[in-house]
Amino acid sequence: MARIAFYREWRPQTFDEVVAQEQVVFPLRQSVVKGETGHAYLFTGTRGTGKTSLARIYAKAINCLSPEDGNPCNKCEICAGINEGTLLDVVEMDAASHNSVENIRRLTDEVLFAPAIVRYKVYIIDEAHMLSQGAFNALLKTLEEPPAHAIFILATTEPHRIPATIISRCQRYDFRRIPLEDVTVRLRLIADSHKINVTDEALRTMAVLAEGTLRDAISLLDQANTGVEGDISRDAVLNLVGLVDDQFLADLADALLSKRIDQLLDLVNRLSLSGRDLIQTVVDLARYLRNVLVCKISDNPAEMIQITEQSLNNMLRLANFSDTKTLTKLIQGLSALLSELRWTPDLRTSLEIGLIRLLGEIPDSTIANLRSGNSTVTVKVASEGELPTSDKTVEVTAQPETQVSGLPDNEEPPAKAKLVEGDKLMATLDEPPAEAEPDRSVEMTDEPEQIVEAAAQPEPQVSGLPDIEEPPAKAILVEGDKLMATLDEPPAEAEPERSVEMTDEPEPSQVMDHEQLIIHWNNVLNELNELGHIDILIMARSSRVGYDGTNWYLNFDSSMNSQFERCSMPDATRLLCRLVSQEMKQPVEVVIRKSPDAANNVGATAEPEWLSRIRKVCQETDVPLEVEE
């Protein structure tokens, strides 16, 4: 027999077992104890917070033959029948797939008949916001004059899409995201009962990754239990979802801040050998430096950053010998580097170049000798991974006499660094003056049928390097006449000429209505959950989706860097492509996009509307937003 997934096995069966949600559990239980039930309930809240589980518990409790302190006994024939789904008087309907008038008519016709063996017929309508207008109207008639034996429980993640006429007839209960502590405690209970050796830190990490969704957290534990050999540590969990551990990030940050280029390249080499995702590591490094910045600014960083003591000590040490300006510059530089990496055919090389360039952002140079005179530092880079040939050297040369026109005036001639592969000059990089933004140029050479159109290309060439074109300041990916995507994301500090051009972008035409779109998207998200790709699920669900018949769009606000990055990774894109094609029963391309005003794009999101709104405000006011309970 197939093993039951943890989240099914650990679905709560009584009010006592429900994690958090006291604001809902208490009144419902009281109504059972006092025998005062309503006829219509509206359960609202994020997915995975226990709405349908609690609806089932309530259905059992009000019908149970021997309830205990309001709890269903789970032993009597009625409890057993509901648990097994064989009791016809308790009906669960998924409005996502049964949203028509006929579906509701059948139900409201049937509701008139008295129940066969229970006191109350209970109708649980999940994803109730998916009902059509006609279906809502049909339901409203019954809610206006419900038979005494009928109870309706509507569950929804999007209460604002339920007509006011329906809401006004329901007792409304709002489910909250579950606090980190409560999720962790629950995970510990499950782990211990299954004799899983897992550290508290690892459980906490799972809870953080699940963002207040208990179901996702339990699925992560399930995944770790089958996917990790031996004890489950925090690092093992991070490894499982493709994130690097804190010590590695500490080493990377250390190498950057102390300007140790050899150590930096060695770490990139190790990273590359480990097969870890390079782009995600840049995301993590930026987040790590953000935490170092918090250590620098905050009087009580331990409260703001919930990590292990050792990690915190590492951060405090780094915070001690860096200043806020440098940290801010590095974080911005990493963000710019991310947009380059997304399109590069040779990730590792671009990452190395990008990191070396970032060293130029750091004052009190320990590599100042590289800038003066003609010294050359050569660092051997082990050949591996994406780099095609051996014997590569990264050469950083100072060329004080180089004329660079078109760049902002600058007291000190910028150092040039070039990556040499055999005799071939691969790329040059400008070490930007301390105050200037690093070049955010990108080139895509891996898509032969597409044309890279360079806009606002600086006209002057760097003398002495005639065969190397200055990379364009902005590149637009064009396929045929259709503008597919732009490569630059807006820098943190607004620079008008670097703004993203979205003007000619094809608007996904509405080939299906909002409801259908969401039904399909939720099916894809559920499939991601079933397959255990919780990390992709967590990242993808905050996108606004659109579909034009050929392409399935995932739109991310410009503030949603990590979500965008994760979904843009090849493994995620491939998987999403497969699942969406499967869902749409035809080949569909998945296009991951980021735009400054994704909220205006055609599409719908699985994220609650209030959160989208907060995101928008934060984005407009430049306030960083991290979502956690």
| For Zn ion, the closer CB: 35 or 230 | 35
| Three-state secondary structure call for residue 410 | coil
C-alpha–C-alpha distance, residues 17 and 146, integer Å: 31
Closest distance to Zn ion from the beta carbon of 66 (Å): 6
C-alpha–C-alpha distance, residues 141 and 371, integer Å: 80
| For Zn ion, the closer CB: 76 or 599 | 76
Closest distance to Zn ion from the beta carbon of 17 (Å): 15
| Three-state secondary structure call for residue 327 | helix
| Binding pattern for the stretch 23-62 against Zn ion, x by CB under 5 A and - elsewhere | ----------------------------------------
**Beta strands 150-156; 121-126: pairing state:** parallel
Closest distance to Zn ion from the beta carbon of 61 (Å): 8
| For Zn ion, the closer CB: 79 or 429 | 79
| Binding pattern for the stretch 98-137 against Zn ion, x by CB under 5 A and - elsewhere | ----------------------------------------
| For Zn ion, the closer CB: 73 or 465 | 73
C-alpha–C-alpha distance, residues 392 and 418, integer Å: 11
DSSP code per residue over 505-550 = PPPPP-SS-HHHHHHHHHHHHHHHHHTT-HHHHHHHTTSEEEE-SS
Q: How far apart are the first and last CA of the chain?
A: 37
64-83 residues in contact with Zn ion (CB under 5 A) are 64, 72-73, 76, 79
Are the CB atoms for 544 and 601 separated by under 8 Å? Answer: yes
Structure tokens that stand for 54 in this block: 């609690």
Q: Which residues, other chains included, contact 163 with Cβ-Cβ below 8 Å and sequence gap of 6+?
A: 136, 140
Closest distance to Zn ion from the beta carbon of 151 (Å): 17
202-261 residues in contact with Zn ion (CB under 5 A) are none
Q: What is the CB-side half-sphere exposure of residue 74 using CA atoms within 13 A?
A: 10
| For Zn ion, the closer CB: 76 or 305 | 76
Closest distance to Zn ion from the beta carbon of 80 (Å): 8
Closest distance to Zn ion from the beta carbon of 72 (Å): 5
| Three-state secondary structure call for residue 382 | coil
C-alpha–C-alpha distance, residues 15 and 25, integer Å: 6
Question: Which helix (H) or strand (E) segment is 419 a member of?
Answer: strand 416-421
| For Zn ion, the closer CB: 72 or 432 | 72
| Three-state secondary structure call for residue 359 | helix
Closest distance to Zn ion from the beta carbon of 332 (Å): 60
Q: Is 155 exposed, middle or buried (0-12, 13-18, 19+ CB in 10 A)?
A: buried
| For Zn ion, the closer CB: 20 or 64 | 64
Residue of 221, 127, 93 lying closest to 521 (CA atoms): 127
C-alpha–C-alpha distance, residues 80 and 528, integer Å: 31
Query: Hunting for tokens 């995970």 — which residue is that?
Result: 187
| For Zn ion, the closer CB: 48 or 81 | 81
**Beta strands 392-397; 376-381: pairing state:** antiparallel
| For Zn ion, the closer CB: 79 or 359 | 79
Closest distance to Zn ion from the beta carbon of 71 (Å): 9
Mark residue 259 as left, alpha or beta (left: phi above 0; alpha: psi -120 to 50; beta: remaining).
left
Are the CB atoms for 15 and 57 separated by under 8 Å? Answer: yes
Query: If binding means CB under 5 A, how many residues of this protein chain bind Zn ion?
Result: 5
| For Zn ion, the closer CB: 68 or 622 | 68
Phi, psi (degrees; rounded to nearest 5) at 454: -95, 130
Closest distance to Zn ion from the beta carbon of 5 (Å): 25
Q: Which residues, other chains included, contact 45 with Cβ-Cβ below 8 Å and sequence gap of 6+?
A: 51, 157, 174, 175, 176, 177
C-alpha–C-alpha distance, residues 317 and 295, integer Å: 9
| Three-state secondary structure call for residue 598 | helix
| Binding pattern for the stretch 156-195 against Zn ion, x by CB under 5 A and - elsewhere | ----------------------------------------
Phi, psi (degrees; rounded to nearest 5) at 316: -65, -40
| For Zn ion, the closer CB: 76 or 584 | 76
Closest distance to Zn ion from the beta carbon of 57 (Å): 11
| For Zn ion, the closer CB: 12 or 472 | 12
443-472 residues in contact with Zn ion (CB under 5 A) are none
Residue of 519, 628, 607 lying closest to 555 (CA atoms): 607
Closest distance to Zn ion from the beta carbon of 154 (Å): 24
Closest distance to Zn ion from the beta carbon of 125 (Å): 23
| For Zn ion, the closer CB: 13 or 542 | 13
| For Zn ion, the closer CB: 64 or 319 | 64
Query: Hunting for tokens 């250590």 — which residue is that?
Result: 295
| For Zn ion, the closer CB: 76 or 316 | 76
Closest distance to Zn ion from the beta carbon of 149 (Å): 18
Closest distance to Zn ion from the beta carbon of 86 (Å): 14
Cα dihedral 151, 173, 92, 119 sign: negative
| For Zn ion, the closer CB: 75 or 141 | 75
Q: Which residues, other chains included, contact 77 with Cβ-Cβ below 8 Å and sequence gap of 6+?
A: 65
Phi, psi (degrees; rounded to nearest 5) at 560: -95, 60
The residue range among 63-71, 222-230, 301-309, 383-391 that interacts with Zn ion, by the rule CB under 5 A, is: 63-71
- Cα separation values, 302 from 183, 306, 310, Å: 20, 6, 11
Closest distance to Zn ion from the beta carbon of 116 (Å): 16
Rg (CA), the chain: 28
Closest distance to Zn ion from the beta carbon of 68 (Å): 9
> Binding residues for Zn ion, per CB under 5 A?
64, 72-73, 76, 79
